[in-house]
Amino acid sequence: MIQIELSHAGKLELAPYAEKVAQIDACIKNKTGAGNDFLGWADYAETYDKEEFSRIQKAGRYIREHFDALVVCGIGGSYLGARAAIEALNGLLPANTKRPEIVFMGQSFAPSYVKPLLNYLKDKKFAVNVISKSGTTTETAVIFRLLRDLLLEQAHGDASAIQKSIYATTDAHKGALLTLCRKYGYETFVLPDDIGGRYSVMTAVGTLPMAASGIDVAAFMEGFGRGEKEFSNPNLSENPAYQYAVARYLLHEKRGYPVELFVTYEPRFVQLGEWWKQLFGESEGKDGKGLLPDSATFTTDLHSLGQFVQQGNKVLFETVLKIKEPCCDVVIPEDKDNLDGLNYLSGKTLSYVSEQAMEGTIKAHEEVGGVPNLILSLEKMDAEHLGNLMYFFMRACAMSAYLLGVNPFNQPGVEVYKKNMFTLLGKPGY
């Protein structure tokens, strides 16, 4: 169970919102609220296609055994969840065990990013997992065209030779990408109609890249399913996900904080922060409402943002992710000269030092800086606990957006830049 500590955020009166929370919980369960067509994630652990999940595991094994690299080609929710999970669980350095390198493309047009990666892949045996509901998302579609051309070039134009190199996660019934896959025999997986991209990490969108990277996706789904049971409790006093949602609401709407800073103490959680930012930013940021979600990695960012957080404009509160059990550790050695004056730390572990840095920072920001802190504690970071954490955030996000009175599952503002871009590029019809 994820624990939430509210004592570092000043006095937050959650109890008056218990009835409202129960009403919203009923809307989520009965799928009667705004955007209810996209609530498939809420009970996905009960309803997901077990046969497809077996195919995902099988494809993951095949990719691990036959390829040097897997290119995940997607943007937004079509790649952030997978990337967050892979980096959080596998770390940032190449693994010693046999697993392919996971490369992310399709989220940027920048030639300075794309060209070096294409050159890098020329000498690799690589597979592609292209992720797009329609197959026409511009960033993803452009890069997929380049990747497919590179695969065909490697196969000397033999389209049948690359059949086992391309996997698509797309609509079950329609779309340009599905049409292409059916024409050339590429294996396909489904992004369900009732699940939006930022809520899709537990579908093939996230689990296929995760499985290819060696992550135990069955354990991830077990944790996700446990989250459904733990965080769908309508009783506010017993549900930490709803407590988090109400605390955010109070700090924003009642105490005037416009920014939430998601803080971790692990560089491998940077992409988890990116996934969190999309989840909350795209779900709440509409109708002139919503917190601005930002993220930071301490202690690194204490040497850049720390001064502002401590003594700058009081525009933010912090949500700190605390992992109780480290995945590994390093003991600080003794030095006979002690010129750096650090022998007082000899024999102590880096995890211990990091924990004291965390506690000291929370105390400084709260007591001296006047910055509220919400503390989320997770026992450890493995596949099961990560699945549980991601469900926690998804359930909290839905509750939080409904408390604000906005639809958590649409993103009408995103379409504006696309229309302007298509006009400037000369796309027919624009």
Residues known to be catalytic: 282, 303, 418
**Cis peptide leading into 299, omega within 30 of 0?**
yes
Residue 189 burial by Cβ neighbours in a 10 Å radius (0-12, 13-18, 19+): buried
CA distances 41 to 32, 225, 290, Å, are 15, 10, 22
Contact (CB, 8 A) for 282 and 249: no
Residue 179 to residue 335: CA distance in whole angstroms: 65
Residue 216 to residue 212: CA distance in whole angstroms: 10
Residue 6 to residue 355: CA distance in whole angstroms: 19
Bridge-based pairing of strands 126-131 and 101-105 is: unpaired
CA distances 303 to 298, 300, 310, Å, are 9, 6, 11
Instruction: Give the number of C-alpha atoms closer than 13 A to the C-alpha of residue 159, restricted to the C-beta side.
Output: 6
Helix (H, G, I), strand (E, B) or coil at 159: helix
Q: Which two tokens stand for residue 91?
A: 């770390």
Contact (CB, 8 A) for 388 and 261: no
Question: Angle formed by the axes of helices 383-404 and 240-249, to 10°?
Answer: 40
